[in-house]
Amino acid sequence: MSVASDAAFVEKLRTIQISRRGLVAAAAATALAARQGLDALAQDSPQVIYTGEVFDAGGATLRVASWGGFWEDAERKLVLNQLETDFNCKVEYDSAWPWFPKFIAGGVDAPPFDVTNWNLPEMFKTAAAGAAQGGFFVPIEEVKANVPNSADLWEFAYQYGHGITYLFSQLGYGYRTEAGDAPADFKAFWEERYADKRGTYITSNTLQMLFFMLANVVYGSGEEDLAAGYEAMKNAMPMKISDFTGNMQTLLERGEVDICVQHDGEVYSQMDKGVPVNWLYWEERKPILTQTKTVSRGSGEVQKKLAY
């Protein structure tokens, strides 16, 4: 196996021309390739520079790339503000996604970020682009060796080979409870009552990719029936298009959309706050959204320690 498996997987996902079985096989091949290829860059005994202690970073800056809005608010409140205090460092937070062009511009030896939060398609695309130059990311075995509490994670947290996957959520529809009867299934999105009150995402967003693939299944002959998916998207117009789930959460809360493609965590958090929304899981397929954090191989030693 080689890193070519990574590139093949990315190209398949980019074109949406994959079956469910093919997606699983490609993901497995990618993870194996990463372990056999990029992990070889690490020593037989991975170099350990951090063992869980608090240290004085001397005012160093940690560059973090992750989502904006409420996501950034939560990360700062729950983790980053305390990190700055305890470790005498400064966190520089970038939410201007996508990350891929920034990594390409910087190169493997001058990465734009020290720790980066990813959805899978862009992570694989970035990993493939940097593989020939030694890789953008610290190999997973070295990450594990430097993150002591990673020992408590299930093995599938490492299955994608480039970082720690720490969040799995399931896709479906968020909808406003005041907008009439609850949607019953995947096809409800196309009901006339939701005209101009539907919400989905730009095509580079992973949720839109998965939504499109499921439309291929429901309105066509399978995941590869692109014509059926294109026709379904056309028939769903007019609809609101968002770049990010946090923005979609706002559209739903304001009533600018009555139904939207989402992952469950965002809608359940709104329900906890008393927003008049509810949730429908898709049954036709049950896709998931993951979040994975990587550490950049070209970052300085202090930045790597802070990232871990």
Q: Please tell me whether residues 101 and 211 are part of one structural domain.
A: no
Q: Please tell me whether residues 77 and 114 are part of one structural domain.
A: yes
Q: Please tell me whether residues 42 and 148 are part of one structural domain.
A: yes
For 153, the token pair is: 């994670």
Contact of 255 with 196, CB cutoff 8 Å: no
Global pTM reads 0.79
Q: What share of the chain is helix, strand, coil (3-state, %, to 5)?
A: 50, 20, 35
Is residue 221 over pLDDT 90? yes
Q: Please tell me whether residues 143 and 32 are part of one structural domain.
A: yes
C-alpha dist (Å) from residue 95 to 60, 68, 188, 283: 20, 5, 33, 33
**CATH number of the domain bearing residue 197:** 3.40.190.10
Segment 21-77, tens digit of pLDDT: 443 344 444 444 444 445 444 446 899 999 999 999 999 999 999 999 889 999 999
Q: Please tell me whether residues 29 and 46 are part of one structural domain.
A: yes
C-alpha dist (Å) from residue 307 to 12, 72, 109, 132: 31, 16, 17, 24
Is residue 166 over pLDDT 90? yes
Q: Which helix (H) or strand (E) holds 288?
A: strand 288-295
CB neighbour class for 306 (10 Å; exposed up to 12, middle 13-18, buried from 19): buried
Q: Please tell me whether residues 212 and 236 are part of one structural domain.
A: yes
pLDDT for residue 70: 84
Contact of 34 with 123, CB cutoff 8 Å: no
Is residue 4 over pLDDT 70? no
Segment 108-159, tens digit of pLDDT: 999 999 999 999 999 999 999 999 999 999 999 999 999 999 999 999 999 9
CA angle 166–81–136, rounded 5-degree value: 45
Q: Please tell me whether residues 301 and 157 are part of one structural domain.
A: yes
Can you say how many angstroms the Cα of residue 214 is from the centroid of all Cα atoms in its chain? 18
pLDDT for residue 44: 67
C-alpha dist (Å) from residue 153 to 33, 44, 138: 21, 22, 18
Is residue 5 over pLDDT 80? no
Q: Please tell me whether residues 111 and 201 are part of one structural domain.
A: no
Distance CA 248, CA 245 (A): 5
Torsion of the alpha carbons at 53, 59, 60 and 62, rounded to the nearest 10: 80
Segment 227-283, tens digit of pLDDT: 999 999 999 999 999 999 999 999 999 999 999 999 999 999 999 999 999 999 999
Q: Please tell me whether residues 111 and 252 are part of one structural domain.
A: no
Domain that holds residue 240: 170-288
Contact of 275 with 284, CB cutoff 8 Å: no
Per-residue pLDDT, averaged over 84-104, amounts to 97
Q: Please tell me whether residues 52 and 156 are part of one structural domain.
A: yes
Q: Please tell me whether residues 147 and 190 are part of one structural domain.
A: no
User: Considering the chain, what is the average pLDDT of its residues?
Assistant: 89
Q: Which residues contact 139 (CB under 8 A, 6 or more apart)?
A: 38, 39, 40, 41, 42, 46
Q: Which helix (H) or strand (E) holds 174?
A: strand 164-176
Is residue 101 over pLDDT 70? yes
Tokens 């509810």 sit at which residue? 278
Q: Please tell me whether residues 276 and 300 are part of one structural domain.
A: no
- As for how many domains the chain has, the answer is 2
